[in-house]
A and B are shown apart, each in its own frame.
Chain A
């Protein structure tokens, strides 16, 4: 029987504690936002701080306790409560947008009534004209002010740059995956260091009034380049360096623009070397005493040597495939054939028909024995026959699509000139 008072007391204590918790939740002082030294006036937002919804009871933290009309205080308060930097940036950016909204809206309203007048005067055509209008200038100035405020509060070095840097590094690592991990790491570090120097160099120039490099600037650039190349040579074996240079050369990506031709690694290496030599020969200065004809003949010879070397490197079958892939007319046919799931051989047949028809049409046009009427009749007949043959090879539907995408030469067949 004596346990009941004890139970009663315990229950009373339960109730008191529960009440205390509820009161604490309502009254617990929020974490004091870190007061920061007065920020420059530029970070103050006007005309008023962001409107917050009425505080909700029961949470030990209220937004109004960290929000401040001074954006630097707002930013620091967010950082002080452990808000991640990315979120801090987004919040400050959003607050700035919100505070510029009314001013922006006023400018927008000022010219919206004239929208159709601008259409009438064809002013919308001239994109470069927009920033010169009164409203364009007002919006641009507001935009600049907004960006300046963002930079003032959040700094110019954005996190996006860091993300981009990360992506660039991952890509570089993939491109250098053929190197040992240690060399890869060192090479990337060297490249990043070199890149950083170049960026700083360019930035220094950008700060100058004329933006032009002095002789000293150019010397510095050249020294860095030499330094970088020497470091590369020290790091890599001659074979590795040659491999790197070939892969990074301007002509290395030729296979990317040749649908229908997939080179092996060996084929790629041989052809890239040949292309590199070809480029160098083409860019080599011609003798000053050469006539135009002699120069043209020299270029033809370089071109012909290149083609012969490619043929030799690939062998006749692969060379034929390579040549086909280089033919734009074939590519147009192949694209359409592929769209309908037809094999490449169909495109090759189509190309054959095209070449035969165009040769026949050229013969008719060159035949001066034919009267204009006979010439036209012959060309019409060639066109009709070609369409029929192509229709048999491709099918009516594919031919119709082809006429839309690259097959316009068919209409040209019947033209006398």
Chain B
């Protein structure tokens, strides 16, 4: 009994001496590996290329091996234990995972013999796409299981590089912006897979799948963002409605909040974020008109009758042209309104004169000349010194108020 006790203790001493020496030489293996799910195991830690030691310095010991691990959980634990900042832990691990999956997806390149037909190519490309998609999903799941959230270093790169993305997502904190971009990327890719599966001919089942993806994207995003952040993001995604419907605000007094409200209202007519996932079926002209009328009724309610009239005027490209001219020439908006109204009046009156059968050709020409002179007078007084420039540019329509010699001759013959 005593002798075995002594033997154990002596062996223990030997082991402890060996460990002590190992620690002194910096070759102590990292702490016990934390069991990890199968998915968190990388194929193998990357081997370091031989970098020449810096001149004049002793060759350093190589502790990176003590940190990097094929087991990502262990790798994270080691980085944290070494005091590596958390954002860097994330970027190192995600980059390593990116590299691992890049290698996995590179093992299966596709080559088509030139005589391979379109059907065969599509089938092969699709099957490859499915494999790659499965790998990407596996990668995302791995990242999420390790970090607790979706993250793509690529998303961060986009966030850093693209101006439009910066503009749209700039109200969010950096990490949230990158996470939303990662989520968007994930769901956009899934939606694209549905479309490719369907060879871009969407039937009811496809639309249902896309709708589910859209809802899941919304649900995940809402878990990530605060209610006010989510509201702002939805509004920013929806503002494309204004462009899609060519809605303009030149010369309309509208507050930021009213504009946001208008964008919010538009969502019930066409949800722009949803449209990216589930494209609407083309509407008949009659239905489009009904929708436009219904939307404008809501805009009228929001702005009141006076400003709604301004809003309607802003939708006329003739007004926008005059408005732009007035701004370029530092004229007040009222000048643009006056010129536009004279143009409208002149057009109406010119139509009446042209269609008045009781007038002879000479009387018609004289009436148009009077109308033209009166209109020019009004416009000149509104534009002042910019009048001549106006005549050369957006005011060229004034020339059409006088009938051409051919028209006069034709009218005389009639």
Q: Show the binding face of A for B, using Cβ within 8 Å.
A: 3-4, 6-7, 10-11, 13-14, 17-18, 20-21, 24-25, 28, 30-36, 50-56, 58-64, 76, 78-87, 90-91, 93-95, 97-98, 100-101, 104-105, 108-109, 111-112, 115-122, 124-125, 127, 130-131, 136, 139-140, 143, 146, 163, 166-167, 170-171, 174-175, 177, 247, 252-253, 255-265, 267-269, 272, 335-336, 338-340, 397, 401, 404-405
Contacts and interface: CB of A to CB of B under 8 A. Distances in A.
18 contacts: A21-B20, A24-B24, A28-B24, A32-B58, A52-B85, A54-B83, A60-B23, A63-B79, A63-B85, A80-B53, A81-B63, A87-B95, A91-B91, A97-B160, A109-B170, A124-B243, A256-B121, A260-B117
Given A81-B60, A111-B170, A405-B201, A263 B117 contact: yes
A55 to B, nearest CB: 4
A263 B121 CA distance: 13
Interface stretch (B6-14, B134-142, B182-190, B288-296): B6-14
A122 B281 CA distance: 27
The winner among B114, B198, B243, B249 for most chain A CB atoms within 10 A is B114
A17 B16 contact: yes
Contacts of A139: 163, 166
B117 A262 contact: yes
Contacts of B282: 404
Contacts of A100: 160
Interface in B56-82: 57-58, 60-68, 78-82
A10 B174 CA distance: 59
Contacts of B96: 87, 90
B2 A108 contact: no
Contact of B115 (A25, A85, A95, A255): A255
B88 A94 contact: yes
Contacts of B85: 50-53, 63, 98
B288 to A, nearest CB: 15
A27 B96 CA distance: 31
A171 B166 contact: no
B82 A14 contact: no
B13 A21 contact: no
Nearest to A95: B88
Interface in B92-127: 92, 95-96, 99, 102, 106, 109, 111-122
B170 A112 contact: yes
Contacts of B20: 17, 20-21, 24
Interface of B: 2-3, 5-6, 9-10, 12-13, 16-17, 19-20, 23-24, 26, 28, 30-31, 46-49, 51, 53-54, 57-58, 60-68, 78-88, 91-92, 95-96, 99, 102, 106, 109, 111-122, 153, 156, 160-161, 163-164, 166-167, 170-171, 174, 198-199, 201, 203, 236, 239, 242-243, 248-249, 254, 256, 259-260, 263, 281-282
A67 B115 CA distance: 56
Given A81-B62, A171-B111, A256-B112, 14 more contacts: A6-B6, A11-B9, A51-B85, A56-B83, A82-B63, A84-B49, A85-B48, A93-B91, A143-B160, A167-B109, A259-B122, A260-B119, A272-B114, A335-B199
A6 B13 CA distance: 13
B228 to A, nearest CB: 14
Contacts of A86: 46, 95, 99
Given A17-B17, A36-B54, A53 B80 contact: yes
B47 A84 contact: yes
A146 B161 CA distance: 10
A98 B92 CA distance: 13
Nearest to A332: B201
B87 A53 contact: no
A295 B9 CA distance: 105
B81 A143 contact: no
A94 B87 contact: yes
A330 to B, nearest CB: 13
Nearest to B161: A143
B92 A7 contact: no
A260 B19 CA distance: 71
Contacts of B10: 10
Given A112-B170, A401-B201, A87 B84 contact: no
